[in-house]
């Protein structure tokens, strides 16, 4: 128990340290925005301007502690610090637009930076883009004026045909299909009363963890590719992807994430003991049939208890994933039920995956943002409030695969989340035949023009009723 508590404390410390780092990075840009606005109003010797510069210097020096440099990059209206997408407000959005209008895609602060260099940066950033271009561009001006401790980078161009991008997407698909094949093998072995070995499962889950840590959105996008003929297997894999993604978002240790991934993959394994005519029934279950289905957590725990070399938490999660803290949960236990953290994560991932499946398998028209609202309403009752908030922050109000309609009449497909839950990165759809995947325009809804967002979301579109085949874009 002490080891478990120590581990949770370390995870929390890691999460808090990340948040403090992002807060400091955001403060840097807010202070830089203030400096740029005031440098033309006051002489360099004015106490107010000196105070602004010194505050900015102190923040940058704090970020530089233990680092060789502090780097920020701007990509399609988004702000990145190191590998983190940063939350931005209107002032930061305006500053990003100011940088990109001057063909600046990144700024790097180096040790020994001076207040004079910060003021020089602010003065040059207030020059008109045409004036800077006439002098050879702001990057060349920096070099001529011997500004050594601030480095500017040109605007980054995203090549969707880039080999590394294609390989990441292909690897996600390969692992998804391999995980489904692994689940099939486990179910077959159980049906034939053969000994289940975990080597293949451990290998697949570890590979999924490694790739989701680097490439979460591509995996979450695959969840939208519902497989009617293999849903039982795909549901287990999808739940595992969501659980792994949430654990990574919460900064759990890699070994813990892998254990959770295995537990999530096997959370419904007890359903192999339930008659298939009940499992595959699309109409409402009778009371008797529902009582039979409610046995699957116990059956699952019993099956997992006989698997050699498997993490014990898998057995706990299989038993607990429908208990929901005792609120109409099952199996019924007397008193208040305290689910294990992993069971709580799997319960949430399982519920989200089932709700997304209702659109396809039961013809229930439920936009993704409505599913998010359902989970939000159940926080504190069925689900842990902290986990629900983290899950929504991770997956967004408009999850990957959501089709959006904009105020200007355009339609776009969500591909990636940004720091703003309501403003993801999208692919503009014009032909609806999949050709946009190679030739279409990928943009961020954080992009601004004259201080205002270029596009606003006015609603979601059900891809099935609109005959939009998501497989052409996400597969």
CATH top class, domain 163-395: mainly alpha
What whole-number percentage of the chain has pLDDT above 90?
Answer: 42
pLDDT average, residue stretch 384-408: 91
Phi, psi of 63 (to 5 degrees): -70, -30
Adjacent-strand bridge partners of 153: 106
CA–CA distance from 115 to each of 44, 57, 95 (Å)?
10, 7, 20
What pLDDT score was predicted for residue 54?
95
pLDDT average, residue stretch 408-416: 92
DSSP of 269-304, one letter per residue? GGGGGS-HHHHT--SPPPHHHHHHHTTHHHHHHHHH
The pLDDT of residue 110 is above 90: yes
Closest CA to 244 of 228, 262, 227: 262
Q: Parse the chain into domains and list their residue ranges.
A: 17-154, 163-395, 403-474
pLDDT average, residue stretch 362-372: 69
What pLDDT score was predicted for residue 469?
85
Contact yes or no for 216/248 (Cβ under 8 A): yes
Pairwise CA distance, residues 69 & 289, whole Å: 62
What pLDDT score was predicted for residue 279?
85
Residues in the chain: 475
Q: pTM for the complete prediction?
A: 0.73
Dump pLDDT digits (tens) for 59-85: 999 999 888 999 898 877 778 887 777
- Residue 78: how many CB atoms within 10 A of its CB? 22
* Three-state SS at 431: coil
The pLDDT of residue 446 is above 70: yes
Dump pLDDT digits (tens) for 141-189: 998 988 999 999 887 555 445 555 566 677 888 899 899 999 999 999 9
User: 327 pLDDT band (50/70/90 cuts)?
Assistant: low
pLDDT average, residue stretch 274-280: 88
What whole-number percentage of the chain has pLDDT above 70?
Answer: 89
């Amino acid at each position: 128990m002490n080891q478990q508590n120590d581990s949770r404390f370390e995870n929390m410390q890691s999460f808090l340290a990340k948040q403090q780092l992002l807060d400091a990075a955001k403060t840097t840009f807010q202070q830089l925005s203030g400096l740029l606005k005031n440098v033309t109003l006051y002489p360099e010797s004015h106490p107010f301007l000196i105070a602004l510069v010194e505050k900015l210097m102190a923040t940058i020096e704090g970020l530089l502690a233990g680092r060789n440099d502090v780097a920020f990059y701007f990509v399609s209206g988004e702000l990145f610090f190191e590998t983190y997408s940063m939350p931005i407000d209107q002032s930061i959005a305006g500053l990003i637009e100011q940088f990109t209008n001057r063909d600046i895609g990144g700024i790097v602060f180096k040790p020994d930076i001076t207040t004079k260099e910060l003021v020089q940066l602010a003065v040059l950033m207030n020059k008109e883009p045409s004036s800077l271009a006439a002098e050879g561009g702001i990057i060349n001006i920096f070099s001529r004026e011997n500004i050594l401790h601030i480095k500017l980078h040109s605007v980054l161009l995203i090549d969707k045909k880039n080999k590394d991008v294609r390989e990441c997407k292909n690897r996600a698909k390969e692992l998804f299909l391999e995980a489904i094949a692994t689940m099939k093998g486990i179910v077959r072995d159980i049906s034939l009363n053969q000994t289940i070995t975990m080597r293949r499962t451990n290998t697949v889950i570890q590979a999924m963890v490694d790739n989701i840590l680097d490439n979460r959105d591509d995996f979450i996008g695959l969840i939208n590719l519902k497989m009617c003929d293999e849903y039982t297997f795909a549901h287990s894999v999808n739940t595992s992807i969501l659980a792994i993604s949430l654990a990574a978002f919460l900064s759990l240790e890699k070994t813990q994430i892998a254990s959770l991934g295995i537990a999530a993959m096997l959370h419904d394994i007890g359903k192999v003991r339930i008659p298939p005519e009940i499992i595959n029934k699309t109409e409402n279950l009778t009371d008797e049939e529902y009582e039979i289905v409610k046995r699957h957590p116990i059956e699952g725990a019993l099956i997992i208890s006989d698997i050699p070399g498997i993490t014990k938490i898998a057995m706990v999660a299989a038993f607990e994933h429908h208990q929901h803290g005792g609120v109409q949960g099952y199996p019924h236990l007397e008193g208040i039920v305290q689910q294990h953290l992993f069971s709580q994560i799997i319960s949430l991932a399982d519920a989200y995956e089932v709700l997304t499946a209702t659109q396809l398998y039961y013809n229930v028209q439920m936009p993704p943002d409505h599913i998010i609202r359902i989970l939000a309403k159940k926080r504190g009752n069925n689900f842990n409030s902290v986990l629900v908030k983290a899950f929504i922050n991770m997956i967004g109000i408009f999850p990957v695969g959501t089709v959006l309609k904009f105020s200007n009449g355009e339609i776009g497909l969500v591909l990636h989340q940004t720091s703003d839950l309501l403003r993801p990165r999208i692919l503009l759809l014009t032909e609806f035949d999949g050709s946009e995947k190679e030739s279409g325009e990928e943009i961020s809804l954080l992009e601004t023009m004259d201080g205002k967002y270029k596009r606003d979301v006015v609603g979601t579109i059900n891809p099935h009723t609109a005959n939009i085949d998501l497989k052409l874009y996400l597969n």
